[in-house]
Amino acid sequence: MRPLIDAQKKLLPDLLDVMQKRYRILQYIRLMQPIGRRTLSGNIGISERILRAEVQFLKEQNLLSISSTGMVVTPDGEQLLQTLEDVMREILGLKDLETKLKRILPIEEVIVVAGDSDLSPWVKKEMGRACAARLKERMSSHSIVAVTGGTTLAAVAEMMTADPKQGDVLFVPARGGLGEHVENQANTICAKMAEKAAGNYRLLHVPDYLSNEAYQSLIEEPAVKEVLQLIQSANIVIHGIGDAITMAKRRKTPEEEMAKIIAGNAVAEAFGYYFNQAGDVVHKVQTIGIQLDDLRHVRHVIAVAGGASKAKAIEAYMKQAPRSVLITDEGAAKALVRESYPSP
Amino acid sequence: MRPLIDAQKKLLPDLLDVMQKRYRILQYIRLMQPIGRRTLSGNIGISERILRAEVQFLKEQNLLSISSTGMVVTPDGEQLLQTLEDVMREILGLKDLETKLKRILPIEEVIVVAGDSDLSPWVKKEMGRACAARLKERMSSHSIVAVTGGTTLAAVAEMMTADPKQGDVLFVPARGGLGEHVENQANTICAKMAEKAAGNYRLLHVPDYLSNEAYQSLIEEPAVKEVLQLIQSANIVIHGIGDAITMAKRRKTPEEEMAKIIAGNAVAEAFGYYFNQAGDVVHKVQTIGIQLDDLRHVRHVIAVAGGASKAKAIEAYMKQAPRSVLITDEGAAKALVRESYPSP
DNA sequence: CCCTGTGTGACTTATTATGTCCCGCTTGTG
DNA sequence: CACAAGCGGGACATAATAAGTCACACAGGG
């Protein structure tokens, strides 16, 4: 297949551009459906008229249907997107980025999605879709999936779909309160993901900052204890990676902890842990649930993070996270590659 | 690969047309190089202006180079043509024809080349190229290749190329004189093929129509005997298939033999044998060299014949020629398929 | 030496693609 | 219930591009 694409690149590069354009349009519509022409043209950066021509074409090809509420991808279109996914990734050079990233980072697998989530918010959804697909591959009946918070994970939850093949899947939050807003809390995302995936879920109701005594007594609560046990036996963990300072600021981090984070030159954050450039833990939020060491016993660890601004955080975190699957975007991947191959 | 192409077809239906067009242009140039734009545009049936645009594009892609003597395919272009050969055949529906032919005829392998050699003489060259490629696969060091005459075989000889990998290959004419013109005689073609393939050759100098006494004494000639022995031990035979009447007329066939051929309802001819519709031998030209029965002991038998007009001849001949490789063209293949699948 | 075939440039014309504006409709919301 | 926002679709002018045509300079072969 590869030689065919290369040959096509040589023989008709202009047509591949067109193909790419149409693919992207269809992909967008799938992401934001139902959506109108004008809104889409604004989002995608194509003039309305040309988008209109393309849309009309795609409609004639039966790849999308078009009603007064907006445009929707048809089953035909869905299948086309799926068939062409690998090819487009190859054409866009994402495959290339993936192999380069694999050489740079000690990871098991990496998926690079087109775009930069710093610049275009919908790219997170695309990462979410990719994550959901990989998650499905790894889920089996009675799997326990632990998830963390963050906007990226929210996107993953949103793109999750139910799969009749897999039976009872249980979603749990990976760790207790970290100080996030409600929509980004692990509990919220956990519930949403379970709902979308038609699975069950258990929540962990823990106040953000506890005194030691309260903490100890809470752990002994039967309800809490049971959930904690489930969390400990999770075989899949999905988490985001954040920029340390940004995360610390977003959470209501007390001053002395903030100082500690800054003093330690933290650059990365993941489920309540702060890491410096070398991947060493600089600080951790005191809460219950999965601890960093527990990760080593979890079969599948999936990290989702994108945007050029997160490149450094991803690099730092991954240094100490072996056997992970990383799902990122073009922006972050390019930044990472650029850094490691200084010349061109 | 098929789903990929289908998906691409949906996303840009004219992709294949353009690809095919450019491929064909490049292919032509390779066939007739060096060639000028105007001559090419006449031959290929594309207006000069549009050909010019395509040629310019191909030049920019470094697939052909262009000088005052005409256009030449670059190594890059050669490689591209090679890479795309399989794909293009499939796209043009040739693969489909091949599978159908395999069901109709008792043959080991069949290659169908685009076009109809009745209508376009260059298609023979393409068959020649295909034949040369298959021949290379089957040749090993010290192979002995027996070839017959005919215009098609002349094309095969012309498209033959030397391959440094294979060592001493010997070319011999399959049978003695059959009454052909010089340029279509087995001897001529044998020599040419050997020259192109950088191999050795031995010739068989036998007058066309011999008396029985002369025939017997000639066989005993040491020089002739030696060559005959080589011919007997050939492990590859390449031959053409002709329309019986056409071939008989072209050769200076005596009246009584002509009557025999016509009376027997001969439709096919191959290396001096005439066959009726059922594949039975109706007549044979009396000459030395490989006899029909000998073919069964030859490892590789390659038959080359194209053009819709030869469809019946091919069918008749193939009925009694098992384990052969057939190289034909779209015109003949379609005619054959049409005959066997009456309805559509 | 001429003549044929070569590429290249230039020009006009036809076709297509694109930008722009407007209209009637559905739909969700106040 | 009514309103406005967003929707698709039609229409048209214009810019951009492709395509047809001709003329010219040059190299190689008979």
Q: How many domains does chain B have?
A: 2
Task: List, in order, residues 6 or more apart from B176 with CB less than 8 Å away.
Answer: B204, B206, B287, B288, B289
- Nucleotide closest to residue A48 (CA–C1'): C19
- Which nucleotides in chain C have some atom under 7 angstroms from a protein Cβ? 5-8, 10, 17-20, 24-28
B160-167: Cβ within 8 A, 24+ apart = B160/B128, B160/B132, B160/B135, B160/B192, B160/B193, B160/B196, B160/B197, B161/B132, B161/B196, B161/B197, B162/B196, B162/B197, B162/B198, B163/B136, B163/B139, B163/B197, B166/B136, B166/B139, B166/B140, B166/B141, B167/B141, B167/B142
> What is the tens place of the pLDDT at every residue in A248-266?
998 888 899 999 999 999 9
Query: Mean of the pLDDT values across residues A234-244?
Result: 94
Higher-pLDDT residue of B279 and B14 is B279
Query: Mean of the pLDDT values across residues A67-71?
Result: 84
Lowest model confidence (mean pLDDT) among A272-276, B130-134, B309-313: B130-134
- Same domain flag for B68 and B98: no
pLDDT reported for residue B316: 95
pLDDT reported for residue B344: 45
> What is the tens place of the pLDDT at every residue in A190-226?
999 999 888 999 998 877 667 778 888 888 888 888 9
Q: State pTM to two decimals.
A: 0.72
A342 pLDDT band, cuts 50/70/90, is: low
**Residue A87 belongs to some domain of the structure:** no
Query: Mean of the pLDDT values across residues B15-33?
Result: 83
pLDDT greater than 60 at residue A78: yes
**Residue B88 belongs to some domain of the structure:** no
Kindly state the DSSP code that residue A175 receives in the 8-state scheme: B
**Residue B167 belongs to some domain of the structure:** yes
pLDDT reported for residue A343: 53
Query: Mean of the pLDDT values across residues A73-99?
Result: 88
**Residue B87 belongs to some domain of the structure:** no
pLDDT reported for residue B309: 95
**Residue B243 belongs to some domain of the structure:** yes
Q: What percent of chain B has pLDDT over 90?
A: 42
Contact predicate A101/A110, CB 8 Å: yes
Give the distance from residue B71's alpha carbon to the nearest chain A alpha carbon, in angstroms: 17
- Same domain flag for B45 and B163: no
Between the CA of B123 and the C1' of C15, what is the distance in angstroms? Answer: 35
List, as one string, the DSSP characters of A124-159: HHHHHHHHHHHHHHH--TT-EEEE--SHHHHHHHHH
Lowest model confidence (mean pLDDT) among A59-73, A223-237, B190-204: A59-73
- Same domain flag for B232 and B261: yes
pLDDT reported for residue A113: 93
A344 pLDDT band, cuts 50/70/90, is: very low
Q: Does A151 touch chain B if contact means CB atoms closer than 8 Å? A: no
Question: Which of 85-124 (A) contact B at CB < 8 A?
Answer: 87
**Residue B224 belongs to some domain of the structure:** yes
- Same domain flag for B157 and B22: no
Higher-pLDDT residue of A206 and B319 is B319
Q: Of B44, B60, B81, which residue constitutes the final position of a domain?
A: B81
- Asked whether the beta carbons of residue B11 and residue A87 sit closer than 8 angstroms, the reply is no
- Nucleotide closest to residue A39 (CA–C1'): D6
Beta bridge partners of A273: A270, A284
pLDDT reported for residue A190: 93
A329 pLDDT band, cuts 50/70/90, is: very high
Tokens 């001897």 sit on residue: B187
pLDDT greater than 80 at residue B132: yes
pLDDT greater than 60 at residue A227: yes
- Same domain flag for B102 and B227: yes
Give the distance from residue B279's alpha carbon to the nearest chain A alpha carbon, in angstroms: 42
pLDDT reported for residue B270: 93
Residue of least CA–C1' distance to D9: A52
> What is the tens place of the pLDDT at every residue in A96-144?
899 899 989 989 899 999 989 998 888 998 999 999 988 988 888 889 9
- Same domain flag for A203 and A282: yes
CA distance B170 to B203: 11
**Residue B86 belongs to some domain of the structure:** no
- Asked whether the beta carbons of residue B11 and residue A83 sit closer than 8 angstroms, the reply is no
Q: Of B52, B81, B110, which residue constitutes the final position of a domain?
A: B81
pLDDT reported for residue B342: 60
Q: What percent of chain A has pLDDT over 90?
A: 41
Q: Does A10 touch chain B if contact means CB atoms closer than 8 Å? A: yes
**Residue A278 belongs to some domain of the structure:** yes
- Same domain flag for B68 and B113: no
> What is the tens place of the pLDDT at every residue in A6-23?
888 888 888 888 888 888
Q: Of A81, A105, A136, which residue constitutes the final position of a domain?
A: A81
Higher-pLDDT residue of A285 and A33 is A285
- Same domain flag for A126 and A56: no
- Same domain flag for B113 and B56: no
Q: Does A83 touch chain B if contact means CB atoms closer than 8 Å? A: yes
Higher-pLDDT residue of B10 and B208 is B10
Chain A: residue nearest B88 by CA? A4
Contact predicate B106/B20, CB 8 Å: no
The CATH number of the domain holding residue A10 is 1.10.10.10
Helices (H) and strands (E) in chain A, counts: 15, 13
pLDDT greater than 80 at residue B237: yes
- Same domain flag for A110 and A174: yes
pLDDT reported for residue A306: 95
DSSP SS3 for A240: strand
The pair of three-digit structure tokens given for residue B144, joined into one six-digit string: 């002995």
Mean pLDDT of chain A: 88
Tokens 């890059």 sit on residue: B76
- Same domain flag for A139 and A66: no
Write out the residue range of the structural domain in which residue A24 sits: 1-81
Kindly state the DSSP code that residue A289 receives in the 8-state scheme: B
- When mean pLDDT is compared over A105-109, B26-30, B212-216, the highest value belongs to A105-109
The CATH number of the domain holding residue A276 is 3.40.50.1360
> What is the tens place of the pLDDT at every residue in A277-304?
999 999 998 888 899 999 988 989 999 9
- Same domain flag for A309 and A283: yes
Task: List, in order, residues 6 or more apart from B159 with CB less than 8 Å away.
Answer: B125, B128, B129, B131, B132, B196
DSSP SS3 for A242: strand
pLDDT greater than 90 at residue B122: no
